[in-house]
Amino acid sequence: MRRILLPPRPMWETLCIRPESESADLDDTVRGIVRSVRERGDSAVLDMSAAFDGYVTESLKVIPEEITMAAQLVTENLKDALEKAKINIETFHSAQLTAEHVVDISPGVRCWRRNVAIESVGLYIPGGNAPLFSTVLMLAIPAIIAGCKKIVMCTPPDRNGNINPAILYAALITGITDIYKIGGAQAIAAMAYGTESVPRVFKIFGPGNRYVTRAKELVQQDGIAIDLPAGPSELMIIADDRANPEFIAADLLSQAEHGPDSQVILLTDSEMLLKNVIAEVERQRHQLARKDIIERSLKNSLLILLHSPDECIDFSNTYAPEHLIINTADASSLAEKVVNAGSVFMGEYSSESAGDYASGTNHTLPTNRYARNYSGLSVESFVRKITFQEITAEGIRELGPVIQTMASAEGLEGHKNAVTVRL
């Protein structure tokens, strides 16, 4: 990790630039995949599954027997953990439902807004070396609470055609049964345009690698909504001299193991803490299984000494991290000053891992400074808000002259006339 001591504010923008990992042929490759799936449907998906994943099959859909068998392979300990996490996530997300509220604007004029679930949604669950079964809970639970009628899930199988059992068990306990053995950009294209097997959806959710992310961006241009722009994982920690270096190092490494392009940053006003955290990172990282990934991630990462906790908050708001841990004596007061962050973890015992799995909040969050203008995933991500208005004869008599005057001033006589004939 690179140490930066007391950087002047003009330097902050440079320090906030994320690591670049784009390849020159990425866009062309993903465009080709998306185009092929759109034109050839299942045939293209099957060809790509064989080419990219080494998986050959005649059927893409997971059958009920596979889900039942997978459940038998999951340990009771993991089943219990998933059930408890499910309850916490349901509790937090159920509280996000808002009641319909009718507003009486004036006599005879009533307006209100109704939440209407998106009818058909697609969930993408990454597989690979770290199958994210927790993401099934994070996506499926708010979709179900929102009331989405059709929920499609795609996730890549292994070379034997088997999906990670924990992913299927998470789908089972959340009630997701429309599951397809497809990964990568081809999965996004299949859900966006539909194939002979995969239903077309209206909005696609879920994290993925650069190919998945680019595919989501491309299908969005054709009117398919996506959850949010996603990139490599990020963690920023603000800590003072009372923070435990062992905790800080563990939190940094927990995010560094996500991928080689992840970035973790420590902000502190204590030079002693900085030195102690460096020592702890060195001690702990060699004990972790994904040490090669961590080593590459740490090359992107920073340890920054600043003048004060308030300056740390200013830097954090400039950076707009996906995850922000505030491990200071005055965490609550500092948290009040946060304006740009995906999710905030306050206090010594609020590990970012808690939010990833079981505290109840959603771990699908904006990265790459999108926390300045995007929120993390919620029940609202799965609904549309439709406005309604009801105007009586009394209401149009009161409101009509206002509309006539404004329409006339804009030169829209048809608008004016639509009111005039009612008066």
What are the DSSP E strand ranges found in 317-400? 323-327, 343-346, 383-391
Task: Check whether residue 236 and residue 120 sit in a common domain.
Answer: no
Task: Check whether residue 218 and residue 288 sit in a common domain.
Answer: no
Single-letter residue type at 10: P
Q: Read off the pLDDT of each residue in 212-228 and give the average, rounded to a whole number.
A: 96
Q: How many domains is the chain built from?
A: 3
307 is catalytic: no
267 in a structural domain: yes
Catalytic residue among 258, 322, 352, 363: 322
Task: Check whether residue 197 and residue 57 sit in a common domain.
Answer: yes
- pLDDT for residue 23 is more than 80: no
Q: Read off the pLDDT of each residue in 301-313 and give the average, rounded to a whole number.
A: 98
Query: pLDDT for 59-103, tens place per residue?
Result: 899 999 999 999 999 999 999 999 999 999 999 999 998 889 999
Query: pLDDT for 354-392, tens place per residue?
Result: 999 999 999 999 999 999 999 999 999 999 999 999 999
d(CA 232, CA 234): 7
Task: Check whether residue 191 and residue 315 sit in a common domain.
Answer: no
pTM, full prediction: 0.94
* Residue carrying the six token digits 């040490």: 291
Task: Check whether residue 210 and residue 193 sit in a common domain.
Answer: yes
323 is catalytic: yes
Final residue before a domain boundary, out of 206, 226, 246:
226
**Domain range enclosing 310:** 231-372
Both tokens of residue 352?
């970012």
Final residue before a domain boundary, out of 226, 249, 280:
226
15 in a structural domain: no
Establish how many alpha carbons lie within 13 A of residue 270's alpha carbon, considering only the half-sphere containing its beta carbon. 18
Task: Check whether residue 177 and residue 73 sit in a common domain.
Answer: yes
Helix axes 271-285, 291-298, angle to 10 degrees: 150
Catalytic residue among 66, 257, 258, 323: 323
57 in a structural domain: yes
383 in a structural domain: no
Query: pLDDT for 163-207, tens place per residue?
Result: 999 999 999 999 999 999 999 999 999 999 999 999 999 999 999
Query: pLDDT for 235-280, tens place per residue?
Result: 999 999 999 999 999 999 999 999 899 999 999 999 999 999 999 9
Q: Which CATH number does the domain housing residue 147 bear?
A: 3.40.50.1980
d(CA 13, CA 5): 15
Query: pLDDT for 26-55, tens place per residue?
Result: 999 999 999 999 999 999 999 998 998 888
